[in-house]
Chain A
Amino acid sequence: AQSVAQPEDQVNVAEGNPLTVKCTYSVSGNPYLFWYVQYPNRGLQFLLKYITGDNLVKGSYGFEAEFNKSQTSFHLKKPSALVSDSALYFCAVRDIAAGGYNKLIFGAGTRLAVHP
């Protein structure tokens, strides 16, 4: 079965410093990977996805993610963190359900706290 793991419940970083939020995956076949962000009492917002091609994927709000097949990882990164980046971040992998329909499997989430 497909799965994702986010090994850190919380990541703390100072404003202006680079940030990394970790994600590892386990899939059969080629992985389709996604990152979402959630602000308090809001839904999830799509940041970026990896389907195929370049291992470095660029997304919204200056975020990027690096796909590493040998380490089965898809870490989210940003060169310079902002206080406004403080939120809950979810990694997800596409799964194929019965009938060939796609669905997402989400990690438990990582809370990012950026301090001034």
Chain B
Amino acid sequence: DGGITQSPKYLFRKEGQNVTLSCEQNLNHDAMYWYRQDPGQGLRLIYYSQIVNDFQKGDIAEGYSVSREKKESFPLTVTSAQKNPTAFYLCASSMPRQGSNQPQHFGDGTRLSIL
């Protein structure tokens, strides 16, 4: 079955450490997204990518970095510059970029906590 796989499901970060969250999709979607979910705040967009080797900052990109070397993969690195990284991180993908009205498909998330 096609879908989006996020790993790991739970992740712990030590002070000063960078950690990378994995997101892989086999839906052949061009666009991929990273969101952060905090209680009572809904989802906030961190980064998005509409095509390989291109990505754009979302609303809360500071302290995060991404890469898009392959269509299927869009890893997110939470750097030590992100002072409040504890949250639930969701990856999503969708069909062709411009003008699309297709829904986004979501993975099952990674919960990141500070040790």
Q: Give the interface of A toward B (CB within 8 A).
A: 9, 32, 34, 36, 41-46, 49, 51, 90, 94, 97-104, 106-109
Contact = CB atoms under 8 A, between A and B. Distances in A.
Contact of A103 (B6, B58, B103): B58
Given A43-B107, A49-B101, A103-B48, 19 more contacts: A41-B109, A42-B108, A42-B109, A44-B92, A46-B103, A51-B101, A98-B56, A100-B99, A101-B50, A101-B56, A101-B97, A102-B97, A102-B100, A103-B45, A104-B43, A104-B45, A106-B42, A106-B43, A107-B42
Interface string B39-81: 0111101001010000010100000000000000000000000
A64 to B, nearest CB: 16
B99 A102 contact: yes
B24 to A, nearest CB: 14
Interface string B85-115: 0000010101001111101111111010000
A49 B42 CA distance: 18
13 contacts: A9-B40, A32-B101, A36-B106, A42-B108, A43-B6, A43-B107, A43-B108, A44-B92, A49-B103, A90-B42, A101-B98, A104-B43, A109-B42
B31 interface: yes
A100 to B, nearest CB: 5
Given A9-B40, A101-B48, A43 B98 contact: no
A44 B93 CA distance: 12
A104 B100 CA distance: 11
Interface string B15-54: 0000000000000000101000000111101001010000
Contacts of A44: 43, 90, 92, 104, 106
